[in-house]
Amino acid sequence: MLARFFRSPKRSFDSLSEQEILALAIASEEDDARIYLAYADRLRPEFPASAKIFEDMAEVEDTHRKSLFEIHRQRFGERIPLIRREHVQGFYERKPDWLRANLSLDAMRQETEAMEEQAYRFYVEAAKRTTDASTRELLGDLALAEQGHEDIARMLGDTHTPEDVRHDEDETAHRQFVLTYVQPGLAGLMDGSVSTLAPIFAAAFATQDTWQTFLVGLSASVGAGISMGFTEAAHDDGKISGRGSPVKRGLACGIMTALGGLGHALPYLIPHFWTATITAAIIVFFELWAIAFIQNRYMETPFLRAAFQVVLGGGLVLAAGILIGNG
């Protein structure tokens, strides 16, 4: 009873017959070919050279599938058992297309190499655990085939994406990252860090109550994050501007806005007023310099100019909040 309850729904690899191992290899080659074609379809509009790599990789996988199918036909006939990766314990898995839709170009390249390397290691380890001579030979041949795939991937990369093409594609990917994540995130961080200074420090000096100040800061930060997030997502769908998904931009902007305000609101959880205020002021200093660094690093704004603009603006807002609070 207990054995049946804890039994895994997956088969162990050692329990598979030679026909099932061959069927598993055929299904795996088919799945990998589909993955490479999905990569190619996604990359073709912006990265045609890399799309060509994945198309060729899919063709290689299909060639190996046909070879494996021919071996199966000769040994076991036309009917191939239905067995896939997800049916076997310890077998390497592949994510479905909808979980790969947001992978970057570099992530696709890295995952392709990992796919081939994983397959090679799996077949090598499987061969070590097999006592039947013919099955061991079959697994060894599959391991060599997967190792060959990895070599072909490198060769195709050298053929279709020479250094200048790869540099251009990496520049395009970097620009898209900046437009989709960095730019809206920076706008949110600036708004959250600067715009909440006045209400938080005004409440602090007006009430001298750290808990009430924290509540003001929390509400201002969360409210600004929600407002900025919806504004960013609603004003541009990204289709014409090329700035990417409005949902991603809205999340980046909204989250960074809230974090920017919470940075100097959280110190007011400290019950001692001056300790909390000095801590908050120190955090504000680092927030403003972080904004200047991001502007210089990703937006190519000269650092001194970015620092002057951000620190001056933040200082004026901070001073306004203190003056209003003491008024």
Note whether 104 and 173 are within 8 A (CB): yes
Domain residue extents for the chain? 9-160, 174-324
DSSP state of 85: G
Element housing 185 (H / E): helix 183-195
The pair of three-digit structure tokens given for residue 81, joined into one six-digit string: 């058992």
d(CA 235, CA 225): 16
Tens of pLDDT, residue by residue over 289-314, are: 888 887 777 776 777 776 676 667 66
Please give the Cα distance from 85 to 136 (Å, whole number): 19
Q: Global pTM?
A: 0.49
Write the CB contacts of 117 (distance below 8 Å, at least 6 apart in sequence).
Answer: 150
Give mean pLDDT, residues 94-110.
Answer: 69
**104 compared with 280, residue with greater pLDDT:** 280
What is the DSSP-derived secondary structure letter of residue 181? Answer: I
Query: What is the C-alpha to C-alpha distance for residues 136 and 202, in angstroms, rounded to an integer?
Result: 76
Task: Report helix angle 273-298 to 303-326, nearest 10.
Answer: 150
Select from 3.30.470.10, 3.30.70.520, 1.20.1260.10, 3.60.150.10 the CATH code of 9-160: 1.20.1260.10
Contact 237, 249 (CB under 8 A): no
Looking at per-residue pLDDT, the higher value among 163 and 324 belongs to: 324
Q: Which residues pair with 11 in a beta bridge?
A: 88
When pLDDT is averaged across residues 107-120 and rounded to a whole number, the result is 74
Do the beta carbons of residue 138 and residue 23 sit within 8 Å? no
pLDDT of residue 3: 44
User: Where does the pLDDT of residue 51 fall: very low under 50, low under 70, confident under 90, or very high at 90 and above?
Assistant: confident
**The pLDDT of residue 323 is above 60:** yes
CA distance 142 to 27: 13
Cα–Cα nearest to 228, from 193, 263, 255: 255
Which residue intervals of 77-132 are DSSP H helices?
A: 105-128
Locate 130 and state its tokens.
């097999």
**Is residue 315 over pLDDT 80?**
no
Say which residue, 227 or 304, is predicted with more confidence.
227
Average pLDDT score over residue span 69-90: 81
More confident residue, 117 or 81: 81
Judge contact between 167 and 231, C-beta under 8 A: no
Is the pLDDT higher at 139 or at 229?
229
Q: Is pLDDT larger for residue 35 or for residue 309?
A: 35
**Mind giving me the DSSP string for 9-42?**
SSBPGGG--HHHHHHHHHHHHHHHHHHHHHHHHH
Q: In whole angstroms, what is the distance from residue 174 CA to residue 253 CA? A: 18
Helix axis angle, 183-195 to 303-326, nearest 10°: 30
Q: What is the pLDDT of residue 239?
A: 57
Give the relative orientation of helices 105-128 and 18-43 as an angle to the nearest 10 degrees.
170
